[in-house]
Every structure is written in C-alpha cells, then in structure tokens.
Amino acid sequence: MKARPYRLFAAALVCLLFSLSLFACSCGSSQPSYRVALVGFAGGEHGEERNALAEYGQRRVEAELGVEVDFILPRSGVDIEDLFTVSEDGYDLVMSLGQDSSLDMLFARPEDSEVTTCALDFEVPQEVPAEDEVTLVRYRVEEGSYICGYLAGWLSGRTDHPLTNAMPLVAFIGSLDDPLVVYYNSGFTMGVEAGSDGGGTHSYFLETDEDAQQARAYAEEAVEKGVDIIFCSPGPFNEEVLEVAEEKDILVILVGADRSSESPQHVLTSLLLRDDNAVFAAVNAALDGDLEEGRQVWGIEEGTWSLAPFHGNDPYIRKEIKEELREQEEKVASIDFS
C-alpha cells in the first residue's frame, strides 16, 4: 500500500525536527574554545562611558566571533595576576583599556606567561615589562584631531555658525602629563591649516590635566584674542573650558565619549575613541594569529576613532563641509604627522 502524502510529509518533518534538536543540544552543550579577559577603564564618569562602549565591543565579539569574553572592572577586586593562570578554563587572551588599567595589567603579568596579552589605548615613553612579548596599541589620535582641526578651520572665520566670528582663529588646550598631547596638538594644527586660508591656532599646555584654574585662564585668554572654537585633549580640565565656552558663547570640541549632552549648544562635536572597534580588531587578529607584538599604532583603518554626530549644531554644518570631511577621512591614514 502506498503511503499517503501527508504521512510522508509528517515523517520528513519529524526527522527534520529531530535533527534540529540534536544540533541545538550540541550547540548548547559545547563550550567556547577561546576565552578573553577584558580589563576596563578605571572609574570616573568618562571612564564609565568608555566602559559602556567597550562592553558593546564585547557583545559584538561574542556574537560574531563565538568567543567568550569576561569584562572585568578594576574595582571588582579581581587579582589581575590570576588572569594569567594556565588551566583548562584559563584565558587565551588578556586585554586592558587605558593607561592605568594597562600599567596594572602589564606589571601583574608573570615574566614567563605565555598568555597572549594586549593593552589598548596605551602609550608611555618609558619601557614596560616584556614589551616585545605583548601588544601595546596606541590609537592614532592625530588622524581624528586633524579632522577636528579641518572642521574648526573651515567654520572659524565664516558666518555659517552663529557662534563663530569673522576671525579664522582657533585654540588647542592640552596637558603635558598626557603622553598623547603632542599627537592631539600636531594633528589639530595641521587640520586647521588645511581647512582654512590664513587660519591660525593658539596652543596652550597645562602641567597636569587637573589644573582647572589654569585651563580657565587659557580659555579666557584665547577668547580675548578672537578664538571661537577650542579643541581640548581629554582630562578633568575640560569642565572648566566648557564653562568658559558657555559664558563667552563659543564652541568646543572634546575627546573620548560623546559629550554633547553636557552643553548641546556649545559642544560642536566630540572625537570618539572607539574602544568597541579596537576590542573587536584585537580579538579577531589574535584568533587569526595576526596580533603583532610590540608597540603598534591603530587608526582609521582599524576604526579606533570617529566623529560624534553634530546633534543640535547639525543645521549649521553645510553639506559642502560634510563632503570635505569625508574626503579628508579617506586620505588621513596616509598623512605624515611627524
């Protein structure tokens, strides 16, 4: 007797469901073959904002690369040295974010450790333990600073924005205790020169990034000279500069997370440090065996920075300058900032 069509269909469906259930069970019971420990930024408001971005990178790594990532906060009480313990469920890669967390991680790392190690957004002038055996990644912030300078140079001296004047003059304020300050300043200054005819930059340097009083004095001096846009490297002093911007009705460009909510009218944009992309790039390279040891520089090609949206200032940023910024981004990786 011939089987009825619906019986053949039911039998096929049962087989399919059985196969799917076996596949689901095997997937659910398997453990990730690669484990990563990611040590986040130390505390502070902006550290928390960047940790949130890094956690987004963690989720992307887990979803797209099938890797297990444990996100560890410095204040969690975890002994960093234990992350390098070799065991069946030990970590294959230990990563850290920022200067403080990376220094703690590098000095806690045992000398004979064979665990792949990577410090992101890290730059110090002195040697660190076994730096030829680990990966130390500096973000090429001069690229992003150049784009910020190009934007500032374009807007300053034009009447496109209600807070700019007719004088093509901008300013940079940074702190000498930031090992990246020279990169921020050089990139921004070159960008201003490229984005304006006859534009100029006043550069001011604090001894420490907590010198708010001096930052205020510099910002006020810059405004007196005709500056209408100030670019700041990261640091607590930013708050004082932002207050001056609100009092004097000028614009600022800040670095780190998107800072527009702090003063929507006066924060023109922010140079975002894309820790999420850096985390993904590092894990992906480690999986492929392509994570080079020693000091590395990652920029736009690895996605380590981007401009934040202009938000409420967007109506004043003409289509022409947006197109120019895109063109500059396409060639910024090839610019020699030395």
The pLDDT value recorded for residue 239 is: 96
Average pLDDT, stretch 295-323? 97
The C-alpha atoms of residue 165 and residue 161 are separated, in whole angstroms, by 9
CB of 181 within 8 A of CB of 233?
A: yes
Nearest one of 97, 122, 121, 227 to 169, comparing CA atoms:
227
The pLDDT value recorded for residue 197 is: 87
Q: Which residues contact 278 (CB under 8 A, 6 or more apart)?
A: 57, 120, 121, 137, 139, 298, 302, 303, 304
Residue 173 bridge partners (DSSP): 204, 232
- Answer whether residue 4 shows pLDDT above 60: no
The C-alpha atoms of residue 93 and residue 286 are separated, in whole angstroms, by 8
Q: Is the dihedral of CA 73, 76, 82, 85 positive or negative?
A: negative
- Answer whether residue 28 shows pLDDT above 50: no
- Answer whether residue 1 shows pLDDT above 60: no
SS3 category, 204? strand
Q: Locate 313 and state its tokens.
A: 């200032």
**Structure confidence by residue, pLDDT tens digits, 214-232:** 999 999 999 999 999 999 9
Q: Which residues contact 217 (CB under 8 A, 6 or more apart)?
A: none
**Domain regions of the chain by residue span:** 35-133+276-302, 141-272+308-334
The pLDDT value recorded for residue 88 is: 85
pLDDT band at 168 (very low <50, low <70, confident <90, very high): very high
The pLDDT value recorded for residue 25 is: 41
The pLDDT value recorded for residue 44 is: 67
pTM for the full predicted model: 0.88
**Structure confidence by residue, pLDDT tens digits, 104-130:** 999 999 998 999 999 999 999 999 989
The pLDDT value recorded for residue 5 is: 42
CATH of domain 35-133+276-302: 3.40.50.2300
CATH of domain 141-272+308-334: 3.40.50.2300
Percent of the chain with pLDDT strictly greater than 90: 82
The pLDDT value recorded for residue 21 is: 43
The pLDDT value recorded for residue 74 is: 85
Q: Locate 162 and state its tokens.
A: 């209600």
The pLDDT value recorded for residue 17 is: 38
Nearest one of 81, 70, 74 to 108, comparing CA atoms:
81
The C-alpha atoms of residue 305 and residue 141 are separated, in whole angstroms, by 7
The pLDDT value recorded for residue 154 is: 96
Q: Locate 200 and state its tokens.
A: 């100029």
pLDDT band at 32 (very low <50, low <70, confident <90, very high): low
Q: Alpha-carbon dihedral of residues 279, 282, 286, 289, nearest 10 degrees?
A: 160
Tell me whether the CATH fold assigned to 35-133+276-302 matches the one assigned to 141-272+308-334. yes
Average pLDDT, stretch 156-179? 95
The C-alpha atoms of residue 272 and residue 261 are separated, in whole angstroms, by 14
pLDDT band at 331 (very low <50, low <70, confident <90, very high): very high
The C-alpha atoms of residue 60 and residue 291 are separated, in whole angstroms, by 19
- Answer whether residue 9 shows pLDDT above 70: no
Percent of the chain with pLDDT strictly greater than 70: 90
Distance of CA 55 to the CA centre of its chain: 12
The pLDDT value recorded for residue 204 is: 98
- Answer whether residue 43 shows pLDDT above 80: no
**DSSP annotation string for 271-284:** EEE-HHHHHHHHHH
Q: Name the residue type at position 221.
A: E
